[in-house]
Amino acid sequence: MSNALTHTIADRAIERTVAERREEYVQEIQRILEATYRVIGRTGQLDPSLRDVLKEAKLSTQGFYRYFQSKDELLLLLLDDGRRQLVGYLEHRMARVTTTEERIRAWVEGVLAQASRPDAASRTLPFMTNEDRLAALFPEEHQASIDALVDVLRAATLDRADAVAIYHVAFGALHAALRRGDPVGKDEAEHLVRFCLRGITRGKS
């Protein structure tokens, strides 16, 4: 067998092994993620102890630090996971309408609806509490998760400054609702939608 062919077969074997190991690691990280969500939901602790998370995930401390440098890094992953799920939800809502006004309404109402969905609220609360700390520790990663949501809205507004302003209005209202433990009322949601639409209209006049 030639040396070149030997290396080719060896490379293929390594790639298969790496791919198998990577999938194993992805599944284990997902298991940690879901265990953290369950601990938060069961205990109501917005900053769950690492011991509780590891017990729920049936994982050793050594196993945890194979993937994460700190618990804050785990919280960052949960923040990103939650926001990516929200991106998919908002894209689905916006795909069902056609006009700019309808798409902005779908986005804003979709964000505010997170306060009335128990599963979504429980996954959002921890990051509302830890967001400033995570933003300071992981500024680029934190901004990237925000950009993902803003980019969905830009498809409707075509202006990043407008999209960022609407993001802050909607998430400010969402966080206030989560703090008080109540969903955003219908009248409040309608007022916020109209406020955002007026801002877009005046900005283009």
Q: Half-sphere exposure (CA, 13 Å, Cβ side) for 139?
A: 1
Give 24: exposed, middle or buried? Use CB within 10 Å, 0-12, 13-18, 19+. exposed
* Cα 78 to Cα 32: distance, rounded to the nearest angstrom: 10
**Of the candidates 139, 179, 132, 170, which has an alpha carbon nearest to the alpha carbon of residue 152?**
170
User: Residue 29 corresponds to which tokens in the numbers above?
Assistant: 């990280």
Q: Looking at domain 70-205, does it have CATH number 1.10.357.10? A: yes
Contact 76, 141 (CB under 8 A): yes
Q: What is the pLDDT along the chain (205 residues), one digit of tens a residue?
A: 556 655 565 666 667 666 777 788 888 888 898 898 888 878 877 778 899 999 999 989 998 988 888 888 888 888 888 888 889 999 999 999 999 999 999 999 999 998 887 666 666 766 677 778 778 888 888 888 889 999 999 988 778 999 999 999 999 999 888 888 888 889 999 999 999 998 887 655 5
Query: What pLDDT does residue 163 have?
Result: 93
DSSP states of 85-126 as a string? HHHHHHHHHHHT--SHHHHHHHHHHHHHGGGT-HHHHHHHHH
DSSP class of 49: -
User: Residue 77 corresponds to which tokens in the numbers above?
Assistant: 């992953």
> Is 1-68 CATH 3.40.50.300?
no
Q: Which pairs from 58-62 meet CB under 8 Å and 24+ separation?
A: 59/28, 59/31, 59/32, 59/35
Domain boundaries, the chain: 1-68, 70-205
For residue 51, the surrounding DSSP H or E stretch is: helix 50-57
